[in-house]
Amino acid sequence: MTSPAIALIERRVSANRFDAGHALTDAEIEELVRLATRAPTAYNLQNWRFIALRSPAAKARLRSLAYGQAKVSEAAVTFIICGVLPDHAAIPQRLLPFAKAGYMPTSTVLAWQEGARAQYADPQRARDEAMRSASLGAATLIYAAEALGLASGPMVGFDAEGVMREFGLGPNEMPVMLVAVGRAAPGNWPQKPRRPLAEVLEIA
Ligand SMILES: Cc1cc2nc3c(=O)[nH]c(=O)nc-3n(C[C@H](O)[C@H](O)[C@H](O)COP(=O)(O)O)c2cc1C
């Protein structure tokens, strides 16, 4: 028997059509983001921020920066998923409760902090990590939505500088992906074909 988790991986599609009359409550939005933040991040940095646009006015502002894509305003919520440049100074705060509970020696927390400091001194690597964390958060949000019976539509078709300006992102933040989430309307495409495993998998 296929497990529910595998079934949702198999059936998820990138939705383009959403029921514009459907809304999500604060509690539903919070649950989606709570689940999204279960995604792993390097050094447990959790270097992301989720901006949930629900009001028609906020979604309209984003839509105009996303080449007019209708799903931005028709979905119940469109998330701006932001990556944040890693801050190694935040690592103790992210891990100390775990160390205090006895799972990790404090010396390891400090070693991770030093590892992150060295690794992200290079601005390109810091930016890559922000993109990676936000992408993992976005993917987890997408599957959480599916598990809650909601459709999702990821987007990179937007003006990143415009979004940063319009939604007040900090200089250490970047909008990595938009994800529209809501109830699917009729007319969505089925999942598109995937490349054969032989083209994408190497087992060494
Ligand atoms: C990072 C990313 C960016 C995307 N950007 C857009 C977009 O701006 N507009 C859009 O309509 N679809 C966008 N898509 C949806 C892709 O076209 C879709 O995921 C792909 O065709 C596979 O579709 P499927 O998952 O339904 O099989 C994006 C998907 C991803 C993962």
For ligand 1, pick from 8, 9, 10, 14 the residue to mutate: most ligand atoms within 8 Å of CB: 14
Cβ proximity of 137 and 81 under 8 Å: yes
Structure token digits, residue 30: 């919070």
Ligand 1 interacting residues, C-beta cut-off 6 A: 13-14, 16, 69, 154-157, 177, 191-192
Task: Provide the sign of the torsion angle of the four alpha carbons 126, 32, 24, 10, taken in this order.
Answer: positive
Which domains, from first to last, does the chain contain? 4-85+120-183 (3.40.109.10)
CA-135 nearest atom, ligand 1:
1
The rounded Å distance from CA 152 to ligand 1 centre is 10
CA distance 67 to 109: 44
- Rounded to an integer, the average pLDDT of 170-193 is 98
Please name the residues in contact with 37: beta carbons below 8 A apart, sequence gap of 6 or more.
Answer: 46, 48, 137, 140
Please report the pLDDT score of residue 199 as a whole number. Answer: 98
Q: Tell the residue nearest (CA) to atom 4 of ligand 1.
A: 155
pLDDT digits (tens, 9 = 90+) for 62-71: 999 999 999 9
Is the predicted pLDDT of residue 59 greater than 90, yes or no? yes
CA-158 nearest atom, ligand 1:
8
The rounded Å distance from CA 96 to ligand 1 centre is 38
Please report the pLDDT score of residue 78 as a whole number. Answer: 99
Q: Tell the residue nearest (CA) to atom 16 of ligand 1.
A: 14
- Rounded to an integer, the average pLDDT of 47-69 is 98
Cβ proximity of 47 and 39 under 8 Å: no
The rounded Å distance from CA 50 to ligand 1 centre is 19
pLDDT digits (tens, 9 = 90+) for 107-121: 999 999 999 999 999
Count Cβ neighbours within 10 Å for each residue of 110-138 and write b for 16 or more, e otherwise.
Answer: eebbeebeeebeeeeebeebbebbbbbbb
- Rounded to an integer, the average pLDDT of 169-190 is 98
At residue 55, φ and ψ (nearest 5 deg) are -70, 145
Average confidence score pLDDT of the chain: 98
pLDDT digits (tens, 9 = 90+) for 65-105: 999 999 999 999 999 999 999 999 999 999 999 999 999 99
pLDDT digits (tens, 9 = 90+) for 14-36: 999 999 999 999 999 999 999 99
Q: Tell the residue nearest (CA) to atom 10 of ligand 1.
A: 155
- Rounded to an integer, the average pLDDT of 135-148 is 98
Confidence of residue 1 (pLDDT cuts 50, 70, 90): confident
- The model's pTM is 0.97
Please report the pLDDT score of residue 102 as a whole number. Answer: 97
Percent of the chain whose predicted confidence (pLDDT) is above 70: 100
For ligand 1, pick from 18, 67, 80, 155 the residue to mutate: most ligand atoms within 8 Å of CB: 155
CA distance 187 to 19: 11
